[in-house]
Amino acid sequence: MTDHSIKLANLLLRGEEQLAISYIHSVLIENDRLTLYEDFLTPAMTYIGQLWERNEITVADEHLATAICDFIISDFEFRSSMSEEGNRKKVMLFGVEGEEHYIGLKMAAAVFQEFGWSVRYLGPNLPLRHAETAANAWQPDVIAMSAALSYRLPMLKQSVQVLAHTTGQPTLLIGGRMAPHVHFEEEAAPGQMLIMTNLRELHNWLALAQKGVGTINAFS
Amino acid sequence: MPFLKTGLAIPIFAINAELEILKVNDMAKSMLANGLTILDVIEEESRPKAVLNLLRFEPIQALEINALSSTGSILLADLYVAWSEEGIGEVLIVEKDKTMQKVSEQLNKLRNRLNDTNFELLEAKETAEELLHQNIKLSSPFIEVTETIALIPIYGGLNQTKTELIASTLSRRAYLSEVETLILDFTAVGHIEESGLQGLESLLRVLQLLGFSMVIAGLHPQHVKEWNDMNFTLDIRFMKSLKSAMENLLAVQNS
């Protein structure tokens, strides 16, 4: 936990979106978004979660902080200009059914965008049947989903099993707070599923895929 | 335990130091999940917070937690505890006012709507870009007029992207054809950006290298000015209009 993220967390909790943005501009070097997501915003939101555990803030405060955080991500989002290429890789992202936490997912979507991917961000709490329909219709190369709470794990597993068989056999990425606790790869979708415990990991994976070192469907 | 008889409209539990439930009132039975310990009434992700605070054995006022209802749904609630001297804790679980939840749900809906709109805009943007691309491709058709002459009428304004795209399709097309002379007609061209003119120069250079003789027709007075500013070094014939260009070339051909 750095001083930056604690200061940022306080600005988020106070609902000061402009101050938060100028603070980020003052401390962020070269507009590095990955640092913003991974080293500033993520720890800030984790810290806010801890404040709730210590009963220092309420769910209402948390919601406000989330909304401000959402606004900041949108403000920094990379506007891709690589859209002329017709053969861009496609990714679809969503939070599993019942899951309302979405900030991490949104940041992951922004990371994909930076790499020039064609991104469909479907938001949190997407019913599985909708996800399935969308996957069959749009046929993404990658489907990224996230879960933050332990009791979403069964739903996450079910989603993996269903989506692994959609047209185009997408690579499935699992992220979110529960990602390190997922141990059903071999059982649910062998050779088709990857776990990303943080955005840096995702970033590195995308960088490798871009260079052609290990294509999307090659697993190491 | 007098509370069991009062019929208070708030769920109340009596627990021991191991957090095991000793007694519950009717409201707790009907409203909340049942279980052996108080933790069974609390949603999994809120349990660490509850344990941390309960095991201090101090009075707790308004500890925000998610409780589990009798149907298994999650209720945002405040937990109050008071401990007796015998180590019995009286736990009240008061559901939070729904107003906040309502506002938050509204916000969620708005966010979803914005997200949908965002999508539609994105899709519209992608379609527009595709159309623009198509449009550029179609804005410089290669028309073979005679065995040796081809006409290329160019449409619309010229910028770098457009000239680059025209250059790639045109040089390929011209290379595959049998013609010797190319007439580039500028009658339908609007504004030419400087970057567009530079792109045009490189296109003309390529065509000249490929051995074509080139005629530029239909330049506007404004284009002529822009053209002159560029200091073009290429050997190109200029004709006032397409009509005069055609007449001229056909006369040469038939003589």
The pLDDT of A129-154, averaged and rounded, is: 92
Domain annotation for chain B: domains and CATH numbers: 3-96 (3.30.450.20), 138-254 (3.30.750.24)
Which of B64, B108, B126 minimises the CB distance to A59?
A: B64
CA distances (Å), A158 to each of A75, A173, A178, A182, in order? Answer: 34, 14, 15, 12
- Tens of pLDDT along A13-53? 998 989 999 999 899 887 788 899 999 999 999 999 999 99
pLDDT at A161: 94
pLDDT at A140: 94
Distance between B204 CA and the closest CA of chain A, angstroms: 25
The pLDDT of A176-186, averaged and rounded, is: 90
Q: What is the CATH number of domain A3-76?
A: 1.10.1240.10
Segments of chain A assigned to CATH 3.40.50.280: 90-211
Amino acid identity of A205? Answer: W
User: Any chain A CB within 8 A of the CB of B64?
Assistant: yes
Is B76 close to A67, i.e. CB distance below 8 A?
no
The structure tokens listed for B254 are: 């038939």
Q: Cα A55 vs. chain centroid, distance in angstroms?
A: 27
From B65, B92, B60, B59, select the one nearest B77 (Cα to Cα): B65
Q: For residue A129, give every residue at least 6 positions away whose Cβ sits within 8 Å of its Cβ, in sequence order, or none.
A: none
- Under-70 pLDDT residues of chain B: 1-7, 230-233
Distance between B90 CA and the closest CA of chain A, angstroms: 19
pLDDT at B1: 52
Q: Which residues of A touch B137 (CB under 8 A)?
A: none
- With an 8 Å Cβ cutoff, the interface of chain A facing chain B consists of 52-55, 58-60, 63, 67, 70, 83-84, 100, 120-121, 123, 149-151
Q: Cα A35 vs. chain centroid, distance in angstroms?
A: 14
Instruction: Give the chain A residue nearest B130 (alpha carbons).
Output: A84
Half-sphere exposure of A141 (CA within 13 A, CB side): 14
Reported confidence tier of residue A81, pLDDT bands at 50, 70, 90: very low
ipTM, two decimals, is: 0.71
Q: Which residues of B touch A63 (CB under 8 A)?
A: 104, 107
Segments of chain A assigned to CATH 1.10.1240.10: 3-76
The pLDDT of A163-170, averaged and rounded, is: 92
A-B CB pairs within 8 A amount to 37
pLDDT at B89: 94
Q: Is the pLDDT of residue A9 over 80?
A: yes
CATH label, A90-211, candidates 3.20.20.70, 3.40.640.10, 3.40.50.280, 3.40.50.720: 3.40.50.280
pLDDT at A85: 56
pLDDT at B126: 80
From A79-88, A115-124, B118-127, the region with the lowest mean pLDDT? A79-88
Is B104 close to A63, i.e. CB distance below 8 A?
yes
pLDDT at B194: 79
